Chains A and B, each alone.
Chain A
């Protein structure tokens, strides 16, 4: 097990947004979280790299463990290097493509140009972007198309070689072909990292996820093999959601 949480609660001020989530995320697999808007899946995702701490007046209770180490007591920048994140809307920096991908490395103290060059090429290759940008690494990242920008963000996250990659609805702003490229990409990097993806798109979860968790109103209702969740769910709420009775 790569990441596990035990009775994790999360509060925005006095509002309890997550009611005691207990889950084991398997290593080197794709785990998907599905559920209706506002169910807490994104909030839960963001507790796993402690991004919620950037907001005022929030509180976490319970345990999170990364490889049996207590995530909540680790140095937060160390956590974020080991647990990377790709956001819903791509957010490349207004810098060159090269500077974007190398940012994580330089911020974590790596200065040698040869090391950075290799890492940039490797990450862009894994993100299926290298052939498209190898001749314009020093052009601005914002000149890329939406799908390319999101793949750039994935390359940027992969450059620091995270043990877990969290993706928060990474394809929701992209067209089907760009979405497909990213799904193929995720398949291909399973061996080097553990992937957790939040998605609104049930078909996407069914396509790529090994395990799926269904969230509703701050609770984890069911967590199982994707096949089981979609064909033979144990709880009625799950069944109602995946068959489209509500969404």
Chain B
């Protein structure tokens, strides 16, 4: 009777192992399929012109997306200047100063903010920036993405600061450091690798957001001057070109998709490398 039970157990074990194994392979497979497809189509359409020239009408050769690459960079820069300081300082307050109930309320609100659909963020930025200014702009796009960066910035900052052991704060305070000095000269430096990598992953996440940019930054087939003009960005160009009927524009869209993915990939890998080097300096 014992061998009967153990035989059933072994079969169940094998079946579950197989099912979960297959699912894992499926998941990885999807990722590799996307990567491979993008690589195949995108890399073929990639050339020097892509990075240096402005878009040309369909049928003409030698066009590129230089303005969209620079445009994405500009919009993300504004987003970083908005999202990172606000999110970081709020995270510092939650981790170091606030009482329990207030922290809970703020965290809850921040999580709600995180769940707001990105297109709604775009509408908010449209109402806040585009309408008063009466035109689309890189600034509006940056505001939309910046607000989207805030919740994750708050959460990662709070988590990484809390992970710094209290013994370190006590050590600093026992030497006569005030609370603020302790936070900025000991706690934050101790958490810096986690904070940096968290911010980078945050940036990588918003880099690909398309919906909020559709009616804030809008787009531009030419170079944009300054920060207050409509501006081209990679995700929106992909959207426009992919919907166009012409095949050569599709090729360009593939190339843009590839570049966007490569950018996100590079940011992710760099972030992971930073976080691995960080605590390593604390190892014996």
Contacts and interface: CB of A to CB of B under 8 A. Distances in A.
B96 to A, nearest CB: 11
B103 to A, nearest CB: 13
A84 interface: yes
Nearest to A145: B284
A52 to B, nearest CB: 11
Interface stretch (B41-49, B113-121, B153-161, B176-184): B176-184
B176 A93 contact: no
A77 interface: yes
Contacts of A29: none
A36 interface: no
A142 B189 CA distance: 15
Contacts of B176: 77-78, 80-81, 104, 107-108, 160
Interface in B15-32: none
Given A80-B175, A142-B281, A87 B167 contact: yes
A77 B177 contact: yes
A86 to B, nearest CB: 8
B173 interface: yes
B2 interface: no
Nearest to B174: A85
Determine the main DSSP class of B at the interface with A: helix
B255 interface: no
Interface residues on B, range: 20 to 34
B282 interface: yes
A51 to B, nearest CB: 6
Nearest to A103: B175
Interface in A93-111: 93-95, 103-104, 107-108
Interface of A: 49, 51, 54, 77-78, 80-81, 84-85, 87, 89, 91-95, 103-104, 107-108, 140, 142-143, 153, 156-157, 160
Nearest to A149: B284
Given A94-B281, A95-B189, A142-B281, A81 B175 contact: yes
Contacts of A108: 175-176
B128 interface: no
A108 B281 CA distance: 27
A69 B108 CA distance: 47
A107 B177 contact: yes
B226 interface: no
Given A91-B165, A140-B281, 14 more contacts: A51-B173, A77-B176, A80-B173, A81-B175, A84-B175, A91-B167, A93-B171, A93-B186, A94-B281, A94-B282, A140-B282, A142-B282, A142-B283, A160-B175
